Structures are given as C-alpha cells and as structure tokens.
Amino acid sequence: MADLTEPKSVLHHYLKNTRDSLIWKRDRLSERDARLPRTPTGNNLLGVLKHCVNVEAGYFGPTFGREFATPDELVPLEA
C-alpha cells in the first residue's frame, strides 16, 4: 500500500484508480459503443480515455521530470 500521507503518492494513487476505472469501462464496451457519441458535443468514452493518456504524458511527465512522448508521439484524438 502506498503512503497516502505524501502528496505525490496520493496523486499517483488517484490517477491509477481513475485510469483503471476508465479502462475497465472501455473494455466492457464494443468498439462501436466506445466510439458512439454520448453527449451533445460528440464526446465518447474512447475520446475521454485518449485525452487522459495525453494529459498524463504531456503534463505530468515534465512536471515530475520524466521523459515522455514528444507531441508527435501522443495518442491522436481523432479516429
């Protein structure tokens, strides 16, 4: 169990649980259902998952001094 008194551990714990939950929800859907728009703006679960991956790589990597993907290597949000 992580030491949840340390801010970095709390953040890591929260992100891991949230990521696992999103992946679990995505895995229970067919490809069509994951891509089907669910809001008036056209958002879908696959798009939310891709956005989260890019935020983790693009923001938290540099914030914590870790080398992550370059902008060209991030997950494309379209398609």
If we measure between CA atoms, which residue out of 55, 58, 77, 53 comes closest to residue 69? 58
Please give the residue that has the higher pLDDT: either 72 or 7: 7
Place of tokens 């891991």: 16
Q: What is the dihedral of CA 45, 49, 51, 53, to 10 degrees?
A: 180
Helix (H) or strand (E) holding 4: none
For the CA atoms of the chain, what is the radius of gyration?
15
Instruction: Over range 65-73, report the average pLDDT.
Output: 72
What pTM did the predictor assign?
Answer: 0.66
Sequence ranges of the domains in the chain: 7-73
Beta-carbon-side half-sphere exposure of residue 70 (alpha carbons within 13 Å): 1
- Reply yes or no on whether the pLDDT at 24 is more than 80: yes
